Structure 1
Amino acid sequence: MDAQTTYGALALLPPLVAIVLSIWKRQVIVALVLGIWIGATIINGYNPLIGLLETFSTYIVGSAIADVWNAGLLVFCLAIGGMIGVISKMGGTKAIATSLVKKAKDNRSTQLAAAFMGIAIFFDDYANSMIVGNAMRPITDAQRISREKLAYIVDTTAAAVSSMAPVSTWIAMEIGLIGGALSSINIEANPIIVFFQSLPFRFYSIFAILLMFTLITQRRDFSKMLEAEIRSHKTGQVYAEGSTPLFVEDQNLLPPDGLEASVWDAAIPILSFVIVATAGLWYNGYEPGMSIRDAFGNADASVALTWAAFLSSIVALSIGLTKKRFSLDEGVKAWVDGLRSMIIAVIILALAFALKSVISEMQLAEWLVAITEGSLSSAVLPTLTFVIALFIAFATGTSWGTNSIVMPIVVPIAASISGATDAVTPLMVTTIGAVLTGAVLGDHCSPISDTTILSSMASGSDHIDHVNTQLPYVLIAGTLAIVFGFIPAGLGISPWISLFAGLIVITLLVRFAGKRIDDNGNVIS
C-alpha cells in the first residue's frame, strides 16, 4: 500500500485532539466537535470556515445521522431510554432492585450477577451493554458499587464475549474477513474452522474476562477504580461529585410513594426485548439455506434492536395501563422523559460516528498499516499485528473497521512468512487471533468508541471516569496478552500454556497488588 495516497500523519490529528482534549478538559462534546472540525478543515484545503460548515452538514448530518446504521442505533438508544422510563414510572425498576438487594448477600454477589448476565447476553455487544447496564444499575447503586465499576463490568463482557461467540452479530463479519483473506492467497479452508482455531489466541479478550472475575471474586481493586470504590462505599456517591453521568434518573420517573410493584413489571419488558432482539436478528439476517448462526451474523443489528426497543416499550406501556399504574398520557410522558434522559449520550454517540467518518476519509488506518508493513517478521508478527490493531481501534474507535482494514493485509503476510501454499498454518491462525482481539482492546480504551460510550450510558457513569478507571485494567490484560500470549505464540509455544500462565499471573497480581475494602470503604488488606 502506498502511504502517499493518504493524508499521512495529519490523519492522526483529529482523533488525537478529540481524545486528549476529552480527557484533559472532560468536555467530550466539545472535544469531538473540534476533532471533526480539524479533520474537515484539512480535507477541504485547510479552509477553517468551509471545514466548520462541512463539520455540521457533511459529517454530523450527512455521515453520522443520515447513515441508516447510525440512525438506527441512535433511535434504538432513545427508544430503550423510553422503555426504561416507563418501567421506572410503574415501579418495576425499584421492585427488581428491592428484590435482588434482599437476595444479594454482599457486594461480590451483585458484581458476579452483572458479570454472568453480561456473558449470558452474548449475541450482541450493543444489546449486552444496554440490558446489563440498565438492569443492574439500581441494584449496584443499592450495594454502593460505583458506576465506574459497573461500566467496567458491562464493557468487559460486551465486545470481548460477542466477538468470540459462535452465534452473534459479529460472526459473519469475522468469518467473512477470514474467508476473504484466505481466498485472496488461493488457500481453500473452512473459515468457520479457522474461527474456532483462533479462539485460544484471543489472549486479550480472555485475559480481560479472567481479570474481571478475579477482581470480583477476590473483592480487590487498584488504581483509579479503587479510589472510585472507596468513594462509593464511604459516601454512597456512586459517581463522583461534579461528574456528568450519561444517564441521569429523572425525578419525574419515580413511582408514587407506597406503590406496590412487581419484579415482573420490569422483567416482562426486558424479556420481551431479549426475545424480540433474538428473533429479529434471525428474521432480518435469514436467507434460504442459512443456519441460525449465519443468519445472526448476516443481520443488521441496529434494525433488530430498534424493533426490540419499540416493541418492549409497547409491552411496558400495556402492563402499566392494564394494572392502572398510570393513564395513557402519563405513560407516554414517562416514555418521553426516559427518552430525554438519553439525549446527552446520543449526542456524543452521533459525534463519535461523525469523527469516524472523517478519520475514514483521511485513511488513517490504511496509513498506519502502510508505515508498519515492512517491519513484520515471523517472530514479531503476532505481537506487532496485535499492537497495530489495538492502536488503530483506539484512534478510530471502531473494532469492526479495524478488522476490515488489517485482516486482508496481515494474513497474506503471515502466509508468505510461513511458506503456506495450500493450507492454513499456525502462524496464520495466531495472526488472525491477534487482529480480532487487538481491535477489542483498542475499543475498550478509546473514549470515542461506540461500545465504550454505550457502556457509560447504560451504567449511568461519567464517560471519562469510565475510560480512566477502566484503562489500568485494560493495559494489564493487554500487557499480559503480549508477554504471556503473542510473544510465546510467535515462538511456537502452545496457547494453552500461555493461557494457564496468564491465569496464574492474574491471580497473583490481584492478590498482592490489589487492595480490599470493607463495606465502609476502609482498606483492610
Structure 2
Amino acid sequence: MLRLLRACTLPTALLILAAVGAPALSAQGFDDAPAVALKGVPFALTVAGPDEPGPAVPFEIIDARGQVVGNGVVEAQSEAVVDDVVIDGADALPMILAVGGVEEQFDPTLLNGWFSLLPPLLAVLLALIFREVVTALVAGVWLGALAVAGFNPIQATWRMIDTFIVPAVADGSHASIIVFSMLLGGMVGLVSKNGGTMGIVEALAPLASTRRRGKIATWAAGLAIFFDDYANTLIVGNTMRPITDRLKISREKLAYLVDSTAAPVAALVPISTWVGYEISLIADGIGIAEAQNPGNTALVADLTSTSPFLIFIHTIPYLFYPLLALAFVFLTSVMDRDWGPMAAAERRAASGGGLFRPGAQLTMDTESGTMDAKEGAPHRWWNAAAPVLTVILVVLAGLYTTGAASSDDGASLMDIFGAADPFATLLWGSLAGCLVAFALSVGQRILTLNEAIEAWLDGIRAMMIAMIVLTLAWSLGAVTEAVGTASYLAGLLEGSVPLQLMPWLVFVTAAAMAFATGTSWGTMAILIPLVIPLTVTLGGAADFAGGAHYSVLLGSISSVLAGAIFGDHCSPISDTTVLSSTASACDHVDHVRTQLPYALLVAAVSMLLGDIGTAYGLPNIVALLGGVLVLWAFLRFRGVRVSEPESR
C-alpha cells in the first residue's frame, strides 16, 4: 500500500485541514477550510487564532439555520479543532465563524457519501476495461477535482494540476520514492550494460534451471529482504527478472511473486519499517479505550498493564491473509500450477508466445535494447551482485543508525528499526549502489565514463512511465482524502456489530478502504484507533490477558493490517502495486488483473477459517493449517500445469 498518508491521516476527521509539516497560521478564522463535505458524515474544522500576541478569544460556528455547530476558545497564534461537525442538509450552509469580532463564511460543496467512492471506482473500472492506466487515473483525479471545484469543469482541470498532481510530486516523502526508484533504475541500467546482469543469469542457471526453481528462488529472495516493502519490491523484481525471463516465466507471474511477498513479509517480521508504526497505533487505540471506560477500573488496569508490543506479537498468528498469501505464493511455485488469467499468461510465456501480452504497456522499458549488455563485455556476476548487496547493506546500516539516533539508550532492535528514517536510508542505499556500479564499470574498463553515464541515464529513462503512473496514483489518493472516501468507509464500523463478526467486518472495511485509497498505512491510521475501543466496548477485552474473548480483540487488530494489505494488493492505485509492476517490467493493468483472483481466493479462505472461525473458538493454528490445506486442494484440483512436468 502512500507513506505520507500513513503518517498523517486522522481517525476522527473527514478531511485533513492542515498542510504537511508545521502549518503557517492564517489570519484569525477558518484555517484551510475543506472544499468538500459529505452529508451526515462527521469531519473536523480548524479555527486559527489571532496572528498577534494577546489573550485567547472565544469563537462560535453557526449554521444557516442559526444553530451553534461548535464553540470554544482559541489562543493567539494557535489553533483550535472542532471535531465531529456534521452537515445534514444544504439548508445548513453557509456556516459562519465568529471569532474575536471577525466573521468568516464556510460554504463547501455538499455531497452524498456515496460520491466519495466514485473517483477511485472510476479509475479502477476504466483501467480494467480499457487496459490503459494513465487515462484511467487522470479521469479519477479529474472527477475528484470536479467536486473540489464546485462542479465547474474548467476549474476542475486547473485544480487537478495545481491542487493534486503538483503537490503529489513536491511532497518530500513522494519525492524520495521517485528519486530512489530512478536511482535504482539507473543502477540496473549500469549493471545491464556492463554485463553483470547476464553474469547473474549464467551463475544461477545451474540452480534456477527450471520454471519451478526460478519461482521458488524469487519467493525466497522476497522473504530475505524483509526490512522494507519498497526495497523488497524494487530489488527482487529487478534482480530476478532476467532469470525469470530466461525461464519463460511471464512478467505477470513475476509481478505477483514480488508484490505478494513484499508487504506481507515486512508486516510480519518484528524488525522492519512497518512494525514501529503499527505498535504506535495500537498504543493510541489502547489510550482511547482507557479514556472511554474510566469507571471500569479492572479493564483500565488490564489495558494499562498490557504492552502494545506484546499485543502486536500476539496478533502475528492471527494475520491470516499475509501468512496465507506467502503460503499461496510458495504453493503456486512448488506445484507449478496456476488458474484463471494467470494461467493464461503463464501458458503464453511457456509456449513462446511472449513474456507479456502483445500490445502491453510496460511500466519499465526493457525492450528497446538500450539496456542490453555492451558487445564484448565480460559476464561477471559480481558486477551486478556487488551493487545490489551495497544497496541492502547501506539501507540496513542506515535504518539502524537513524533509528538509534532517535531512540533511547537500551532500546530494542525492533524499536530502533521502528524509529528509523526509511526514506533517507533508501536514498543512501540507491546512491551507494550507483556509485559502486560506476566504479566497477569504469574501473575494469568495461565502459568508458561517457558510456557509463549514458547507461545510467538509459536506466532512469526506462522508469519514466512508472513514475507518471505513481504520481497519478498519489494524486488520486489525495483526491480520496479531499472527498472523504476513507472516513465514509470508516463510518461502516460505527453501528452495533455482533462481537464474533468484528474481525470479519474490520477486514472487509479495511480492504475496501485500502482498495479505494491505495494506502495500507493510511487505512491502519484510521481504523486501528477506532477498532480497539469499539471492540473493547463490545466486550472484546473481557478476560483480557489470554481470556476467552482476547482472540476477538487480536483478530480485530490483525484484521485491520491484513485487510489493508489485501486491499492494497487488489488496488491499481497502490504505490507498492505500481512499483511491483515497475520492477517486473509488467503492464500494470495486467498485473492487477492476474493477481486479483489469487488475492480474492486467499482473502476468502482467510475470512472464513481465520477471522470468523477463530472468533467462534477455532484455534488459530488449526485455521492456518486448514487454510493452507484448502489452498493446496484448490490448486491441485482447479489449477493447471502450464508447462511440461519438470524434474525436481
State the TM-score bracket (shorter-chain normalisation): over 0.9
Q: In structure 2, what is the Cα distance between the partners aligned to 1:445 and 1:184?
A: 31
Question: Which residue of structure 2 lines up, in the alignment, with residue 44 of structure 1?
Answer: 149
What does 1:78-477 correspond to in 2, within 5 Å?
Answer: 78-186=182-290, 187-188=303-304, 189-249=306-366, 250-286=368-404, 287=406, 288-289=408-409, 290-418=411-539, 420=541, 423=544, 425-477=550-602
Q: Is the contact made by 1:382 and 1:489 (CA closer than 8 Å) also made in structure 2?
A: no
- Correspondent of 1:3 among 25, 29, 41: 41
Q: Is the contact made by 2:540 and 2:552 (CA closer than 8 Å) also made in structure 1?
A: no
3-state SS, counterpart of residue 586 of structure 2: coil
Counterpart residue type for residue 142 of structure 2: W
Deviation at 1:372, TM superposition (A): 3.9
- Deviation per CA, 1:106-161: give whole Å up to 9, x if none: 11111100000000100000000001100000000000000111110000100011
- Deviation per CA, 1:406-441: give whole Å up to 9, x if none: 111111111111163794532211100111101000
Q: In structure 2, what is the Cα distance between the partners aligned to 1:35 and 1:11?
A: 11
Structure 1 or 2, whichever has the larger Rg, is 2
What does 1:21-40 correspond to in 2, within 5 Å?
Answer: 21-40=126-145
Deviation at 1:375, TM superposition (A): 4.3
Deviation at 1:4, TM superposition (A): 5.0
Counterpart residue type for residue 399 of structure 2: L
Q: Which has the larger displacement, 425-434 or 125-134?
A: 425-434
Q: Is the contact made by 1:392 and 1:402 (CA closer than 8 Å) also made in structure 2?
A: yes
Question: Which residue of structure 1 lines up, in the alignment, with residue 636 of structure 2?
Answer: 511
Counterpart residue type for residue 429 of structure 1: L
Q: In structure 2, what is the Cα distance between the partners aligned to 1:275 and 1:133?
A: 18
Counterpart residue type for residue 235 of structure 2: I
TM-score under structure 2 normalisation? 0.78
Structure with greater helix share of residues: 1
* Gap change, CA 1:84 and 1:389, over 3 Å in 2: same
How many aligned residue pairs are there? 520
- Deviation per CA, 1:193-245: give whole Å up to 9, x if none: 10110011111111111111111111111111110011001125111111011
3-state SS, counterpart of residue 465 of structure 1: helix
- Deviation per CA, 1:420-469: give whole Å up to 9, x if none: 37945322111001111010000001011101111010011111111111
What does 1:67-78 correspond to in 2, within 5 Å?
Answer: 67-78=171-182
Over the aligned positions, Cα root-mean-square deviation in angstroms equals 1.6
Q: In structure 2, what is the Cα distance between the partners aligned to 1:156 and 1:422?
A: 36
Q: In structure 2, what is the Cα distance between the partners aligned to 1:514 and 1:520?
A: 14
Q: Which has the larger displacement, 7-16 or 400-409?
A: 7-16
3-state SS, counterpart of residue 515 of structure 1: coil
TM-score under structure 1 normalisation? 0.96
Q: Is the contact made by 2:209 and 2:247 (CA closer than 8 Å) also made in structure 1?
A: no
3-state SS, counterpart of residue 248 of structure 1: coil
Q: In structure 2, what is the Cα distance between the partners aligned to 1:48 and 1:98?
A: 56
Deviation at 1:259, TM superposition (A): 2.4
3-state SS, counterpart of residue 253 of structure 1: coil
3-state SS, counterpart of residue 103 of structure 1: coil
Q: Is the contact made by 1:101 and 1:142 (CA closer than 8 Å) also made in structure 2?
A: no
Deviation at 1:251, TM superposition (A): 1.4
Q: Is the contact made by 1:233 and 1:519 (CA closer than 8 Å) also made in structure 2?
A: no
Deviation at 1:327, TM superposition (A): 1.1
Deviation at 1:277, TM superposition (A): 0.9
Ranges in structure 2 where 5+ consecutive residues have no aligned partner: 1-11, 13-39, 44-85, 87-110, 291-302
Q: In structure 1, what is the Cα distance between the partners aligned to 2:611 and 2:445?
A: 59
Ranges in structure 1 where 5+ consecutive residues have no aligned partner: none
